[in-house]
Structure 1
Amino acid sequence: MEQPTLSTEVILTHPQQTIGNVQLDWSPQPGSYLDLDGKTYAVLERHHRYQLRAGRYQLHKIALYVQSAPRPLERSLVAGRWVLGDVSCRFNAQSELIRCAVNPEGPCEACQFYEQSV
């Protein structure tokens, strides 16, 4: 069965401005990446916009708050979600948005702060 498309407003967080309205056939979650007009953006937040129709609220539009970001090369699948960096490191944040506290920009390879997690 084909997934229905939904109108999605893409909003840059800083400076806050709408950078596009697109029809997506997938539901981007925070931490995922979106390519739009040749640029890559990290999804920070997702908001649903509802509209009252015939006495019922129906999902009308999705607003994605994004920031410009390169698509990371170091990702690991942990418990069904993608996290940045080397998850075997003690300092890994286990986050889709930030790699770690001591070396947030990365890369993890040959990082001087690497410590094996226990």
Structure 2
Amino acid sequence: MEQDSLPTDIILTHPLEHLGQIQLDWTPQPGNYLNLYGKTYAILERHHHYQYRLGGYRLHRISVYVQAAQKPQEKSWVEGRWVIGDANCRLNARSELLRCAVNPTGPCDGCRYFE
């Protein structure tokens, strides 16, 4: 196993289903998107699994919990990270997972609640 590549279990949250295990050369973060078997998934949670070897614990694999999603077209850069939607709107959640409470699926452009 390469040091830069970790086995990653992909688990669908609802209904709970193991979608498979892949090798990733990047660290998945909640709010990132992952393409797997022609579908796009939003990463909701990440869990690390360690194994004791050679006198210490080493990261052995990662599990990510995902849900089916479409990659958002609207993103804003806020405080060093990308958030969904137009961050200039007062109702924007400033989140990688949720756009806003009144129009969570978007788009922000033309939304009657935009403030």
TM range (shorter): over 0.9
Gaps of 5+ in 1: none
Q: Does 1:24 align with 2:17?
A: no
Correspondence for 1:68 = 68
Which 4+ runs in 1 deviate beyond 3 A? none
Q: How many angstroms apart in 1 are the aligned matches of 2:9 and 2:81? A: 24
- Asked whether the equivalents of residues 3 and 25 of structure 1 are also in contact (C-alpha less than 8 Å), the reply is no
Alignment gaps of 5+ in structure 2: none
TM-score scaled to structure 1, two decimals? 0.92
Deviation at 1:104, TM superposition (A): 0.7
Residue deviations 1:20-59 (CA, integer Å, cap 9, x gap)? 1000000111000000111000000000001112342110
- Within a 5 Å distance, the mapping from 1:96-107 to structure 2 comes to 96-107=96-107
Partner of 1:79: 79
Name the Cα RMSD after superposition.
1.3
Change in 2 beyond 3 A, CA 1:3/1:76: farther
Contact 1:13 1:65 survives alignment (8 Å): yes
Once the two structures are superposed, the pairs formed by residues 27-42 of structure 1 within 5 Å of their partners are 27-42=27-42
The TM-score, its normalising length taken from structure 2, stands at 0.95
User: What residue number does 1:46 align with?
Assistant: 46
How many angstroms apart in 1 are the aligned matches of 2:63 and 2:77?
26
C-alpha distance in 1 between matches for 2:63 and 2:6: 11
The CA deviation at 1:62 is 0.4
For 1:82 and 1:89, how far apart are their aligned partners in 2? 15
Indicate if the aligned counterparts of 1:3 and 1:26 stay in contact, CA closer than 8 A: no
Could you say which residue in structure 1 is the equivalent of 2:93? 93
Q: Which moved more, 1:24-33 or 1:47-56?
A: 47-56
Q: How far, CA to CA, are the matches of 1:47 and 1:6 in structure 2?
A: 13
